[in-house]
Amino acid sequence: MSACKRLLYIVKHRGIWPSIWRRNVTTWSPVGAAFNAKPHRRLELFEKNGLFGVPELSSPAGFEVTTKRALKDTRELVDKVCSSPPGAVTVETFDQLSDGLCKVADLADFVKVAHPDPSFREAAEKTCIEIGTVVEKLNTNVDLCRSLKNLLDNKEVLAQLDPETRKVAELFMFDFAISGIHLDEKLRKEAVKLHVKLLDLNNEFLMGSHLPNRIAKSAIPEHIHCHFATEGSFIQIGGLHAESSNDLVREVAYRIFLYPNSDLMECLEELLKCRNKLAKLVGYESYAHRALQGTMAKTPGKYQSHQPLILNLFPYRTAIDFEMIKDMKTKLNPHNAELMPWDPPYFSGVYNIEPSLYSPYFSLGSCMEGLNSLFTQLYGVSIMSEHPSAGEVWNDDVRKLAVVHETEGLLGYIYCDFFHRANKPHQDCHFTIRGGRQCQESGQYQLPLVVLMLSLPHPTKSAPTLLTPSMMENLFHEMGHAMHSMLGRTRYQHTTGTRCATDFAEVPSILMEYFATDYRVVNQFARHYQTGQPLPQSMVARLCESKKVCGAADTQLQIFYSALDQMYHGKPQNRSTTDILKDMQQKFYGLPYTPNTAWQLRFSHLIGYGAKYYSYLMSRAVASMVWKQCFVQDPLNRDMGERYRREMLAHGGGKEPMLMVEGMSRRKRLNYTEFAPLVCAI
């Protein structure tokens, strides 16, 4: 090996080992070390690469190049599918068409919210709108739809297709149906215009929902200034500070962060009107009816039929939790004992534990080691730190992980954008950058790429990043999404990983929360970052028990969010979104509305989960059943892990969710209504 090649090999493959913190007992594994040390800057000896390895994206101008190429390929594939006889090639070409557009649009969708360079964000936003417009036009392309209909109407050809291919063909036809393909030409054009308008409104609301609010320093007590970011004579508040033990900090953050923005309010009102108009145009009773097609719930009526059961059981249990939280608050602050909306998230997370006592045992590196150990034991999968190429990532803090199976080899890549920075959304998210698919044109499998985005504190000179228990649980949750993408070896990218029914997509991530709070799992990785001592058994027990406390209050909050989402997307109310929120909060939560706040303007899930926020409740019920039936006896059982991958993770959206749950639970004829009591039992 030449000296040059040896240098390349070392730069690309050597592990990163921390030299700052001395360990008395053990040493970090490479994946733990990669997250418990600041990354080494790469020597840019060779030509700079582009984002995610796309050469053109070394500059913002590259988005225009990739967009033009994608649109050129799209035109050629549309011609191909419209001129080919019906068969498996029809579905394969549809998927190739979808993949070409998604690889550009999904990447741009991430960059527009996460890249620190405004010029990259602006270029990505332009690409999102351009690709989105083309997609909506394709969804009302009569010739394209006819080619798929010819396949689905040909019973002889259809019988020769495997179940996955038939399912994907039906999903593509479903996209045509909800986009208004059945309308006349004039109305189809109107539907496209509404879709394009919604792209703009969605983007405007999503970006605005994450922007911080600011207030003059003189307007709030000086002694709490240190809890917030400052900008000259102003305090910037970019979140709710729900984990702060200081009542006043939580209250100020709540009142200022949720203070109404008239422009964003107008955007939300217009967005909801536009969604309703589109739904009515394409033949649905409401946007909620349109959105729930293709989910486990099927219709709003089926979801809403569970509300009496939930409303009868939860207020009593929630009242008990609120009384417990009020008692805790009274002990800490007898002069300010009234329970307010900014209190439950804090107190339900600290009952019987002090988060700061746990954090030294939950260094980011140790938590990543714990995830690696869990995945190895359940699936035979390892996560390995890998140096990204120069220009491949958008910030020096981003880590790249290769996901490798013990016999199948490389499964895909996870980019970990974990640390807080200015103008980065304060929301934990999973982004699919590229879906997995079997490429008929090359014979190779296209490996999935995903990004996990958190907002964790940076390591310091004296300590690595230390997580609170809730931060650790969120990390496990988001990694559940990532492994769904990695372990689903679907033939088509249209159904890859998390591209499944929305009310099933959260099952793998919520199931990971159960692993994160099981002492048999926590014991494997929770150890002090300085001494290497494991988290004492008594503290593990208290942590696990604390998750069972205030469960009704936490679930009641999710019920409120879900009901509000359904109301916004149901029959038009002819009143403001704030008036609707006041009524729904009183009916479904029980704590008073705080004047001059507009929580709905921070409800960013309205974009991706519009009319489907109930999915978190539904997914939690399914995950609870899977945990109790399959993992509670032994959370590290390899046979059960393999069954879970085979029955649930492997299919993505290529199989009906209830069939996957039946396969995992070994029960037949499950139906949606069985999970309503489980919501109440969580």
CA atoms within 13 A on the CB side of 55: 2
Rounded-to-integer distance, Cα 363 and Cα 623, Å:
27
Six-digit token string for 361: 């045992």
Active site residues: 478
- Identify the CA nearest to 66 among candidates 45, 84, 52, 48: 52
Judge contact between 498 and 485, C-beta under 8 A: yes
Q: Tokens 């989960």 — which residue?
A: 609
HEC string of 185-198?
Answer: HHHHHHHHHHHHHH
- Using DSSP's 3-state secondary structure scheme, residue 34 falls into helix
Helix axes 615-626, 507-516, angle to 10 degrees: 50
Task: Report CA-CA distances (Å) from 496 to 103, 155, 478, 489, 511.
Answer: 13, 26, 17, 7, 19
Distance, C-alpha 34 to centroid of its chain: 23
- Identify the CA nearest to 355 among candidates 222, 478, 480, 457: 457
Judge contact between 612 and 295, C-beta under 8 A: yes
Rounded-to-integer distance, Cα 585 and Cα 155, Å:
51
Q: What DSSP letter does each residue of 517-557 carry, written as one string? A: T-HHHHTTT-B-TTT-PBPPHHHHHHHHHHTTTTHHHHHHH
Rounded-to-integer distance, Cα 567 and Cα 619, Å:
20
Cβ neighbors of 339 (< 8 A, separation 6 or more) are 322, 325, 326, 329, 591
Judge contact between 397 and 418, C-beta under 8 A: yes
Q: Phi and psi (nearest 5°) for 353?
A: -140, 155
Rounded-to-integer distance, Cα 226 and Cα 582, Å:
32
Cβ neighbors of 164 (< 8 A, separation 6 or more) are 490, 491, 492, 495, 651, 654, 655
- Identify the CA nearest to 345 among candidates 381, 319, 365, 321: 321
- Identify the CA nearest to 98 among candidates 112, 69, 77, 127: 77
Helix axes 163-179, 142-153, angle to 10 degrees: 140
- Identify the CA nearest to 511 among candidates 605, 658, 648: 648
Rounded-to-integer distance, Cα 504 and Cα 404, Å:
25
